[in-house]
A and B are shown apart, each in its own frame.
Chain A
Amino acid sequence: MEDKGGSEKRGLFEREALPHVDALYSAALRLSRNPDDARDLLQETVLRAYRFFHQYTPGTNCRAWLLTILYNNFRNGYRSADREQVSLTPEDFEREVEGLSARGDQRFSNPEMLISEHVLDHEVAAALNALPPDFRTVLMLVDVQELNYQEVAQVLDIPIGTVKSRVSRGRQMMRVALGAFARRRGLIG
């Protein structure tokens, strides 16, 4: 894109990119887990996007492009040594949700229904928060930001096969956790 001068570029940016600010802020909040850091991460993302707006291809998914910048910012430097999150493994997750590891691997492909409409919001939140970050991130991008697998692969800079397997494994973990909560409440056997 040629340098079209400030106002034209700004107008295009406001039409294409700024409608996604709430989505970016939500993602920033979830990544940084505190409003001050989320604010900084959002602002840096928007400024960087504006600076490099000539690299955006009109007609492609602008939200995916913006999220790519946001996740890059978060990875590079923002998440500095002193704020590195402790990363759970899927096995840690299973231990977190009630000694599930004793049940064996077949639980993942068990066709019984574990989730119902009666799942409580705070249980979904707890299960999501307990997910290992890599798995939570892909579910956020697919289910909340509504990106397709190819776009998620681009945002996170990982192969599309990894996206696919993380979505599948992440949902399986969610399902097992929600099933465990429901059992605890006596909703299902």
Chain B
Amino acid sequence: MNCEEYIANYLSADADGELTPEEERAVAQHLGSGPENGCAVCRARLAEERLLKALIRRQVATVKTPEEIRARTNAALDQMDRGPAPRRIGIAVVRELRRPRTWAPLAAAAMLLVVVWASGILPGMHRGASPTNDGVSAIPASEALDQAVYSYETFETAFRPTVPSGSLADIAMAYGSAEMPDMMWNFQFAGYGLVGGRIDQLPDGNPVTYTLYHGRNSDILCTRYKASDFAVPPGAVGEIHGHLLYEYMGYSLCVTVSEKGHFICVLTTSEPMDELRHDISLARAFSMVR
């Protein structure tokens, strides 16, 4: 072994204690141990290599995890220990108990619409309204909640994506080209996998998008509608990062109305509200445009 070989092939592994016994013997022969014996230059290089390791280690000192992050992590572990959320009681019963009276007539219409819609008759039938036409109003905001819940119930058991990709980027692009918001929820950190995206058309010609996320205990469906002027539905039970939270028909909902009221986004899940809050706190936004 000469100096060049040692430096090129063995020096780093020597400093890291990664030489095989055979290599160690060959290296020891080259390095030797004194002024008369072995290669002092390579011994110095080995010392230098070890110094470099120490310098790197010193530079990248371990950072102490902030207490707030430790606490959050422990709380999340506690939550996992508690196990799956209790099953909700029968939806039909809850619906009767919790539906705000003022929304009741709308729900029947919504049910009819969704049934027809799910059967595949409606999409494509009313192409008179351009998806880009903001002047065409879609369903009222309160009805959007009904729609979202019914869609959730439909898609929880059978969801057929129209965007054939499991990637947020592909789905965002497809939504964008349908002139729908392409800012996507990413629930990966909350333990939800992306199932897929679906673009349909409402009877009024406006597009609607559905994005389904599948988690351990429940799903989250993100439904988005387009309209001219959505108003914020009444009855919110809370707020997180500017999104409004609703407990509605036995489901937990998170509603976002876009600044100009042109879009409404409803997250629907069967998990309890505190878990939806938690998921949202872990979620991040994904967008093709930064």
Residues of chain A whose beta carbon lies under 8 Å from any beta carbon of chain B:
6-7, 10, 13, 21-23, 25-26, 29-30, 39-40, 42-44, 46-48, 50-51, 77-78, 80-82, 108-109, 111, 113-115, 117, 119, 121, 124-125, 128, 139-140, 142-144, 148-149, 164, 167-168, 171, 174-175, 178
Distance from A187 Cβ to chain B, minimum over Cβ atoms (Å): 14
Q: Which residues of chain B from 45 to 101 have a CB within 8 Å of any chain A CB? A: 45, 48-49, 51-53, 55-66, 69-70, 72-73, 76-77, 80-81, 83
Chain B residues closer than 8 Å to A139, beta-carbon distance:
56
- 13 chain-A/chain-B pairs, Cβ below 8 angstroms: A6-B83, A10-B81, A39-B72, A43-B69, A47-B191, A82-B290, A111-B41, A115-B51, A143-B57, A168-B12, A171-B12, A171-B49, A178-B52
List, in ascending order, chain B residues with CB within 8 A of A111's CB.
Answer: 3, 7, 41-42, 44-45
Asked if B288 and A22 sit within 8 Å, CB to CB, the answer is no
Which 5 residue pairs are nearest across A and B when measured between Cβ atoms?
A168-B12, A25-B65, A124-B59, A44-B189, A6-B81
Does B228 sit within 8 A of A, measured CB to CB?
A: no
Specify the chain A residue showing the minimal Cβ separation from B54.
A143
B24 at the interface (CB under 8 A from A): no
Contact B11 A168, beta carbon cutoff 8 Å: yes
User: What's the Cα separation between A115 and B58 when bound, in Å?
Assistant: 15
CB-CB under 8 A from A46, the residues of chain B are 73, 76-77
| Minimum distance in angstroms from A122 CB to a CB of chain B | 9
Q: Which residues of B contact A29 (CB under 8 A)?
A: 63
CA A87 to CA B290, docked complex, whole Å? 19
Tell me the B residues contacting A by CB distance below 8 Å.
3-4, 7-9, 11-13, 16-18, 41-42, 44-45, 48-49, 51-53, 55-66, 69-70, 72-73, 76-77, 80-81, 83, 168-169, 186, 188-189, 191, 282, 284, 286-290
Instruction: Tell me the nearest residue of chain B to A125, going by C-beta.
Output: B59
B80 touches A25 (CB 8 A): no
CB neighbours of B4 from chain A (8 A) = 109
- Residues of B contacting A78 in the complex (Cβ-Cβ under 8 angstroms): 188
Q: Are A82 and B76 in contact (CB under 8 A)?
A: no
B55 x A26 contact (CB < 8 A): no
The answer to whether A114 touches B13 (Cβ under 8 A) is no
Q: By the criterion CB–CB under 8 Å, are A42 and B7 in contact?
A: no
A80 touches B286 (CB 8 A): yes
Docked complex Cα distance between A144 and B63 (Å):
12
* Given A80-B169, A117-B51, A143-B53; A23-B189 close (CB under 8 Å): no
Q: What residue of chain B has the Cβ atom nearest to residue A37's Cβ?
A: B284
Say yes or no: B57 contacts A42, CB within 8 Å: no
Closest to A149 in B: B18
Tell me which of B8, B72, B168 contacts A43 (CB under 8 A).
B72
Shortest A152–chain B CB gap in Å is 10
Residues of the A chain whose Cβ atoms lie less than 8 Å from the Cβ of B189 = 40, 43-44
The reply to whether A82 and B287 form a contact with Cβ atoms under 8 Å apart is yes
Expressed in whole angstroms, the Cα–Cα distance for A26 and B62 within the complex equals 6
User: A40-B284, A167-B12, A167-B16 known; A124 and B56 CB under 8 Å?
Assistant: yes
- In the complex, the chain A residue whose C-beta lies closest to that of B172 is A81
A47-B191, A50-B80, A171-B12 known; A39 vs B69 contact (CB < 8 Å): yes
Knowing that A10-B77, A113-B48, A121-B58 are A-B contacts, what are 17 other residue pairs whose CB atoms are under 8 Å apart, sorted by A's residue number? Answer: A26-B62, A42-B69, A43-B72, A50-B80, A78-B188, A80-B186, A109-B8, A111-B41, A111-B44, A113-B45, A115-B48, A119-B55, A124-B55, A128-B56, A143-B56, A143-B57, A164-B13
Contact B169 A81 (CB under 8 A): yes
B53's nearest neighbour on chain A, judged by CB, is A143
A76 CB to closest chain B CB (Å) equals 8
In the complex, what residues of B have CB within 8 A of residue A167's CB? Answer: 12-13, 16
With A82-B288, A111-B42, A115-B51 given, is the CB distance from A30 to B60 under 8 Å?
yes
Chain B neighbourhood of A117, CB < 8 A: 51
In the bound complex, what is the Cα–Cα distance between A40 and B288 (angstroms)?
A: 20
- B76–A43 contact, CB under 8 A? yes
B81 to chain A, nearest CB (A): 4
A100 to B45, CA, bound (A): 20
Closest CB of chain B to A121's CB: distance in Å? 6
Closest to B69 in A: A39
